[in-house]
Structure 1
Amino acid sequence: MGIVEFTGSALILHAEFVLYGSAASETLAKEMADDVAFHWNEPGAQVFFRSVITPVQFNIKGVYAPQLVEEEVLSNTDALRNFFRIEPFANGNISFVDGVNSNTGYFKLDNLLNRSTTAAHEFGHTIGLDHPANLDIRGRGVPGIMYPRGTIVDPEFQYDPAARPLAPGGTMDPHKRKVLEEDVQALRFDKLQFTGSLATIGAFSSVWHEAHRP
């Protein structure tokens, strides 16, 4: 979730990640925010907005909130704020947000390390993007950021380029997906309801997550 600002010459999507949980830290908050901003800014995307080709920028901030309490998440009305619990363990070994158009979620720590695209992918969900319907994209090159694990891709984008499709190692390595210009265009900034220069993108899910236990 976030707030989109139209400056007159550019669209800037502002968002803040508020991290809590036993594996959260100030360093991780900054790294996660910087990583998501890097991925979403990487294509240097432009969109058609108000009859003009307009550049889009992503301004993401990270905050560590060790004293965060449930009531603060449930009562929050600031569209900038996304609350993510970070823990070393997650049920099913899966990080997730609370649906398409949301502002809360739960991340397994090791899903966020080593230039993973997990946070960038999940952020896409919070601002309105779902998984594509067609998960066999052989012949279409680099997979976009919203393709999930298990997508069938060209060999160079698999975990193991020598593996047969759907065999062990024969699906998309998520480190190899990227935010493409078409992913940014899919956000449909032209459909947002602006009040003055600002519009909200995404919605409040407002879920407090307890730590999962092995």
Structure 2
Amino acid sequence: MGSVELDIQQRQLFVFSNIITYGNAATPEITELIREEIETMWNEPSARLKFDSFWFEVRFKIQASHNPAISPIDIFQNLDPRNNYFRIEEFAHGNISFVDGLNCNSGYFKLENLYKGSTTAAHEYGHTLGLDHPKDLDIRGQGVPGIMYPRGTLVDPQFQYDPTKPAGVTGGTMHPMYRKVKLQDIEALNLHRLDLHGGKAILGEFTNVWHNDHANISPEDFFGSPIG
């Protein structure tokens, strides 16, 4: 989720988001890694979009903070569209990182998924902005996979976990580290459809979910319909 703002003078469109982490595995270092990955990857396409006959450069500005003492009520009462809340733990039901649906501002990250270059944070951020997994998950012959392709996608051998494996077997699917944010991903946000005549708009929706540590709850108590 984020706040979209136009700078008419500089011909720039900014997407501002704050990443706020909590949980037993959250640290300032991991939080900064998440921030850097999201900002770097989503700015890589150097996208330009047209508004009212003018071209604007699209820039993502991501801030982050580690807040181990944050409470459920702090998150529940949040009214800032820039804020995104992610619990980080070593254990996650389903063994994946996820967010609380498309167009959201909360989720749960599995620590193992957050190594440098993993692209997990950038992928989940795309969900918070409203992007779903593509329907066609066999993109062999199409080159580098876009950021929203999930694990299990069939790709060219050089983008697999193991390029020597046949497609579809263990090791023969997409390694997430090869995903890239492409111009098509920026265009899919439909920023041009936002009502920006006042200079600002909201991208995404408030979910404001505080997550329990999955190590302390059963799968039956797991809340929500997560998207990984």
> TM-score of the superposition, structure 2-length normalised?
0.91
Query: Where in structure 2 are there 5+ consecutive unaligned residues?
Result: 217-228
Q: Residue 71 of structure 1 aligns with which residue?
A: 73
Contact 2:33 2:116 in 1 (8 A): no
User: What amino acid maps onto 1:135 in structure 2?
Assistant: L
% of aligned pairs identical?
49
User: What amino acid maps onto 1:38 in structure 2?
Assistant: T
Q: Secondary structure at the match of 1:135?
A: coil
Contact 1:84 1:105 in 2 (8 A): yes
1:159 to 156, 161, 170: 161
- Aligned partners of 2:81, 2:131: CA distance in 1, in Å? 17
Q: Residue 41 of structure 2 aligns with which residue?
A: 39
User: What amino acid maps onto 1:146 in structure 2?
Assistant: M
2:203 to 186, 189, 201: 201
- RMSD of Structure 2 on Structure 1 (CA): 1.2
Contact 1:158 1:172 in 2 (8 A): yes
- Aligned partners of 1:31, 1:139: CA distance in 2, in Å? 32
Contact 1:101 1:125 in 2 (8 A): yes
Q: Secondary structure at the match of 1:156?
A: helix
Q: Residue 19 of structure 1 aligns with which residue?
A: 21
- Aligned partners of 1:138, 1:115: CA distance in 2, in Å? 22
Q: Secondary structure at the match of 1:213?
A: helix
1:144 to 143, 146, 151: 146
Q: Secondary structure at the match of 2:36?
A: helix
Q: Residue 115 of structure 2 aligns with which residue?
A: 113
User: What amino acid maps onto 2:60 in structure 1?
Assistant: F
Q: CA deviation at 1:195?
A: 5.5
Q: CA deviation at 1:51?
A: 2.6
Q: Residue 5 of structure 1 aligns with which residue?
A: 5
Q: CA deviation at 1:50?
A: 2.5
Show structure 1 runs of 4+ deviating over 3 A: none
Q: How many residues align?
A: 214
> TM-score of the superposition, structure 1-length normalised?
0.97
Query: Where in structure 1 are there 5+ consecutive unaligned residues?
Result: none
1:60 to 59, 62, 80: 62
Contact 1:155 1:162 in 2 (8 A): yes
